[in-house]
Amino acid sequence: MNTSIKTTLRSATVQDCPTAARLMQIAADGVCDYIWSLQQDEFPTLSPLEIGAKRYAEGEGNFSYRNCTLALTHDDHQQERVQGMVMAFAIPSEEVSTAVAEAPPEDFPGAEVLAPYALEQPNSWYICALAVFPPYRQQGIGTQLLDLAFEQARERGFPTVSLLCFEQNVGALRLYQRYGFKTIDHAAVVPHPLIHHTGNVLLMTKSV
């Protein structure tokens, strides 16, 4: 770990939405690109990434800047440089799919592409996204963001933290396994040109 770079954490603001959308894009490995592309008829002048930023700026629902925490450092001029982000929110006790709540209804054409990402653990604090920009990886920032998510879960009384991970995303999978997450379920990825992986998506949990 590079101890010369000091990392601090702060809640995201509406001004951070473009950066939050970019980090969500990294974390989701193409799933968000697919979801946002489905809304381009509604926003024909915007790119999928801009649609994502616009959605997070609305500040409503689970997919909001209000559920994002940024890891950042400062340069020599005290300007913030965002290193990474965690987005997390509650999965309620009822078995209601919130993990893909920003997706269109189940009966829309192509809904099967999103079906694997409806895996969830009821009554858990769900890490929807965790991502670190490439220059800041291998410096312990991902672990620091995981620590924060568990602190949030404890504060809110959740017994479990859950997340989804592509089995082919070996770097992320190694981080989560090293942290103590265990796979409790899986679903086959539906191949699509925008989604970076095939194989399985894993539902992983760890007790708080």
User: Measured between alpha carbons, how far is 12 from 14 in angstroms, rounded to an integer?
Assistant: 7
For residue 191, pLDDT beyond 70: yes
Q: Edge to edge, what strands does the sheet with 80-91 contain?
A: 8-11, 68-74, 80-91, 124-132, 160-166, 200-207, 182-188
In tens, the pLDDT along 11-54 reads 999 999 999 999 999 999 999 999 999 999 999 999 999 999 99
Token output for 171: 């770097």
Under 8 Å between Cβ of 203 and 119: yes
> Is the pLDDT score of 109 beyond 80?
no
pTM above 0.85, yes or no: yes
> Could you tell me which CATH number the domain at 8-207 has?
3.40.630.30
Whole-number pLDDT of residue 75: 75
